[in-house]
Chain A
Amino acid sequence: MRNISVLRQILTQFLFILLGSFVLLPIWGMIRLAFDGSLRGRPTEFFFFPKEWSFTPFLQVLDKPYQSVEFEVLLKNSLLTSAGAALFAILLGMSLAYAFARFRFYARKQGLFTILLTAFLPPVAFMTPLYIVLGMLQIRNTLFGLVLVYASFALPFCIWNMRAAFQSISKEIEEAAFLDGAGDFQTFQKITLPLALPSIGISGLIAFLMAYSEFAIGWLFVDKASNVTLAMSIYAMMQTQYSGGAQPWSYLGSLAIIMSIPVIIVFLIFQYTLLERMLFGSTE
């Protein structure tokens, strides 16, 4: 195949510019708000560039973003819950996935089907009952409760994913180790785990991201201001803004941007691996 002609090159680039503007338009809308120091509430007038370029919204939002809770606390809560959720999802998911990948036991197929099914259920479906479960376990309103809830959302997905990874590791290697007298756990630890580590890492990352950007469910379980995560605080801010809240919209914009940046970096680095996991991992 030859290289494309100049005309096609121009046409292609033109289409890309169009699509690029479609992609950037809403993002720019947010940036424009975030960097505008002149806003005193909602925007009331159309303007394409910020009226008054300024970093103050960022500085102010970093100071006291939500109900006098420090930004560091929000960030810490977000990171703690996300990391905790990822850890739980990996640990619990790993052992289940390994069992499903390696051992033939009763009702294995039905079990797998159930897990695949729950991976496709909307998280909202679990809202009310989880409220009660957390209440019974006395961990409602705590970060630990949120960790468990988010871990349970990511769990089916992690199981599905890691099972595929474990299955792709040849059974013969494990059996050799097993015959040498290593127990199941030792075999897993010495042989399977290192080989499957990349998949496990990606599963954890996805669990982390799921927890990082969840807000609606979390909002039901936490009403103590000091246990609020970043995503939840953005949602709360949004709701007060809708009802005519006093904070400038720039705060919302800058907080949203601050929250998105780490995720964007992660996605740009891992794009193909993430895609493969989200896609082909779930269909094997």
Chain B
Amino acid sequence: MNKNIFIRVIFIALVLFLAWNLRAHAVEKLNIDFDEDDYMRAGQEYTHLIRTSNWSGFLDTNYRPEHPPLAKIVIGLSLLSTPERDLIPDAPTTAQPNKNIPSDLIQPARTTNAIIGVLTVLLLTIINPVAGLALATHSLTIKYVSQVMLEAFPAFTSFVTVLAYLQFKKKEKKNWLVVSAIFLGLTAASKYLYCIIGIAILIDWFLESKSKQSFKLFFRQAFIWGFIAFAIFFVSNPYLWIDPIGRLQESIFYHAGYSSSAAEVENANFPFWQPFNWLFFTPMVWQRNAFLIAPDIWITFLAFIGLKHLWKRERVYVLWLGIALLFLLFWQTKWPQYIIILTVPLSLSAAEGITSLWNQLLEWWKNRRVQKTVVNKNEARRAIPWLVPGLIAFVIFTIFPLLFQFIVSMTDFNSASIRDGFQGGIWRAFWEGITGQIPISEWDGSRANKVRFTGLTTYPYVFEAIATGFGSSNSILFFNIMWAIVSVFLQSGLGLGVALLLQQRGVKLTKFWQALFILPWAIPEMIGALMWFNIFQEEWGWLYLAAKKFGDDSLFGLFVNNLENSSSLWLITFLLPALWYGFPFMMLAASTGLKFIPSEVYDASAMDGANRFQTFRYITFPLLLPLLLPAIIVRGIFAFNQFYLFQTFFYPVGTLATLSYNIFNPTGYFGSGEFATSAVINIITVLMLVVFVAMFNRWSKAEDGVTHA
């Protein structure tokens, strides 16, 4: 037992060491970013007030009043030991960051934030060392807590708010509730956005009281909790004391206005799913020397795996994560620093993900030894003539190309070395590289007319490129995953809906309607895509011609204008064709499935007085889902690979397309004719599909077990 604690302490110390070093490195290297000059000026004003003991000045000082003052006061405190300097000049929010901030100001301010960031890591590491490790290395978090931003302090206080609340939940001691309220108030006085933790806590609390049937107590305690939080918010926000309502309104309305009309928000033109793009992103692509590692995307993946376990263990963290993401999806301002509001629960979920992966691996290892494949020597001999011709073809046309792609992915084969490559250069480079005769020349995008061996050095570049969308933060990888999920979800929804409508007793013309609805499925995908392109094309598409004819105020004109100004709406131009093309298949699958459900079941439910919705929710849907799931998975994988639609649409931006499209049309800084990077994307896609199919295989086996039992 003692030994365990010892190991734990050592681990915590190591994580803290790592967290501090990474942040200190970032403090030193990071360039001055947007907003840093503003908050620096805000901090300087407070420093001046403190130095001159001008306490009443606090009542009227709040540079950038859209954010409450507390986090700025913290910056001000950190500047006390520095020499007095002139105020950083005032600049509009659209201005480029001011590069001339003296470094003896910027270093202490950043360091203070970084220390608070390390404190957050410390708390998390005590709760869950692996989660602490995740947060310590998360590069986006490192960036924004190591700059003169307002993130570090509220990130810390909001985490304490939750911890205190959890203590209260466990021990039922009201002292903890007071602590929680105090820290919520401090959070609110630093940056409003972090207050979503309050919502998560309230929901968790409500659910808890629902299970205990103690609503009255909940409402009373929650009211007191909220009241204390508000009081603390007010007390620690001297700027509000003179004109509370007016100034509160001012700061809140600023955000509403900013998010809908500020020029920089419009210029950024982020799609609504941008928060997810940030989760797939790493600020390393902006500044390589400031970060040593960037495990962000892996933390995101692991967090996804761990969600279920985290929910079982501590619901409030999942609520925190979910509400934060939901809020960011709807909130129109989508700056990367907003992600810091959820990196703590994200890290916790990632830790759960690692644990559950590890357990699955152990289980698999145990079962592996038990399984024995039955081999019959006689049958194996008899199988040979049946296997040989097909296997030869399979090896030549499927296995060999995959191997070849893998080999190409370890070279820098491109259009400059095409002649050499096709004359055996690929094999030569691979062979000499693998046997160590020539050194690995790291891939750097340069081109030579001889094929060179790059080993696996291209993979990190390409993976980063597809994860961050060539550094543009429009993650191709996320788009691809989202595309598969959203398009199949819509197809299944519509298909199921139509199947249910068709199945109603006594509907007229069902044969006719069904034949009509099947049409899109029967049309070759390319032609279908062409038909839709004919509507959405920007110059001579039907929609655009209609907009031209009926004017900007018509329905068409408005739609076209919105389409051009929004990166989110672009998705519709792809989703509509995909829905059109895919729903008939799901409709047929659902109709077939519905036939398997005996009508007695419905009669019984009608006898019990169930209404239509209840019948669907508790009878039809659960019986139908296992029949539909194979269709959903098969279509999901096809959607993941969707190529012809994007190819036909000819849309020049490769980040709004699947990986398949990017294999065929390498864009971004890869340029055309980069066969090697294309091969790397290819191998990465194949690896991802291996994971999908293995999961699918496992699932279908589990399903077998159920049906045979």
Contacts and interface: CB of A to CB of B under 8 A. Distances in A.
Interface in A153-168: 155-156, 159
B663 A129 contact: no
Nearest to A118: B398
Contact of B390 (A15, A45, A96, A271): A96
Nearest to B549: A46
Contacts of B685: 121-122, 125
Interface stretch (A52-60, A193-201, A255-263): A255-263
A96 B384 CA distance: 10
A184 B517 CA distance: 46
B603 interface: yes
B51 interface: no
A186 B506 CA distance: 52
Given A106-B375, A272-B588, A122 B663 contact: yes
Contacts of B693: 113, 116-117, 120
B524 A98 contact: no
Given A135-B422, A216-B643, A103 B382 contact: yes
Given A103-B376, A124-B663, A8 B592 contact: no
Contacts, number: 276
B664 A127 contact: yes
Contacts of A224: none
Contacts of B603: 1
A271 B515 CA distance: 9
A215 B525 CA distance: 11
B631 A108 contact: no
Contact of B523 (A45, A135, A264): A264
A53 B400 CA distance: 53
B589 A128 contact: no
A173 interface: no
B390 A92 contact: yes
Nearest to B693: A117
B389 A105 contact: no
Contact of A27 (B515, B519, B550, B592): B519
A238 interface: yes
Nearest to A93: B390
Contact of B382 (A27, A92, A132, A184): A184
B373 A109 contact: yes
Interface stretch (B305-313, B434-442, B535-543): B535-543
A124 B664 contact: yes
B-side binding surface: helix, strand, loop or mixed?
Answer: helix
Given A1-B505, A280-B630, A283-B700, A126 B692 contact: no
A45 B393 contact: no
Given A20-B513, A279-B631, A99 B387 contact: yes
B525 A95 contact: no
A93 B689 CA distance: 23
The bracket for how many chain A residues form the interface is: 35 or more
Interface in A263-282: 263-264, 266-268, 271-272, 275-276, 278-280, 282
B326 interface: no
A63 to B, nearest CB: 21
B327 interface: no
Contacts of A15: 501
B690 to A, nearest CB: 6
A26 B534 contact: yes
Given A27-B519, A96-B394, A231-B524, A43 B498 contact: no
A7 interface: no
Nearest to A109: B373
Given A116-B697, A120-B637, A268 B526 contact: no
Contacts of A132: 404, 422
B530 interface: yes
B548 A46 contact: yes
Interface stretch (B109-117, B233-241, B674-682): B674-682
Given A23-B519, A128-B408, A213-B524, A106 B380 contact: yes
Interface in A13-62: 13, 15-16, 19-20, 22-27, 29-30, 33, 42-46
A132 B400 CA distance: 11
B13 interface: no
Most chain-B CB neighbours within 10 Å: which of A26, A105, A120? A26
B667 interface: no
B600 to A, nearest CB: 11
B39 interface: no
- For this complex, into which size category does the number of interface residues on chain B fall? 35 or more
A80 interface: no
A155 B527 CA distance: 24
Interface stretch (B157-165, B293-301, B644-652): B644-652
Nearest to B556: A46
Interface string B568-601: 0000000001001000010011001000000100
A268 B530 CA distance: 21
Contact of B675 (A96, A115, A128, A152): A128
Given A121-B641, A234-B530, A264-B523, A133 B549 contact: no
Interface string B344-362: 0000000000000000000
A207 interface: no
A114 B114 CA distance: 49
A279 B663 contact: no
B588 A275 contact: yes
A264 B522 contact: yes
Interface string A200-229: 000000000100110110000000000000
A129 B404 contact: yes
Contacts of B508: 9, 13
A21 B242 CA distance: 62
A284 to B, nearest CB: 9
Most buried by A among B379, B525, B531: B531
A283 B626 CA distance: 12
B647 A238 contact: no
A74 interface: no
Contacts of B505: 1-4
Interface in B405-462: 405, 408, 422
B397 interface: yes
B635 to A, nearest CB: 9
A152 B498 contact: no
A1 B606 contact: yes
25 contacts: A2-B505, A4-B505, A26-B534, A29-B542, A30-B527, A43-B545, A92-B389, A92-B390, A102-B383, A103-B376, A103-B380, A124-B643, A126-B405, A127-B663, A128-B675, A128-B679, A132-B422, A152-B398, A155-B394, A213-B524, A235-B648, A264-B523, A275-B589, A278-B634, A279-B589
Sorted from nearest, which 6 A-B pairs have the closest CB atoms?
A: A3-B506, A152-B397, A213-B524, A267-B522, A96-B390, A129-B401
Given A26-B532, A43-B545, 20 more contacts: A12-B504, A13-B509, A16-B509, A25-B535, A91-B389, A96-B386, A108-B373, A109-B373, A120-B692, A121-B685, A126-B398, A126-B405, A135-B422, A155-B398, A216-B644, A234-B526, A260-B522, A260-B527, A264-B522, A276-B592
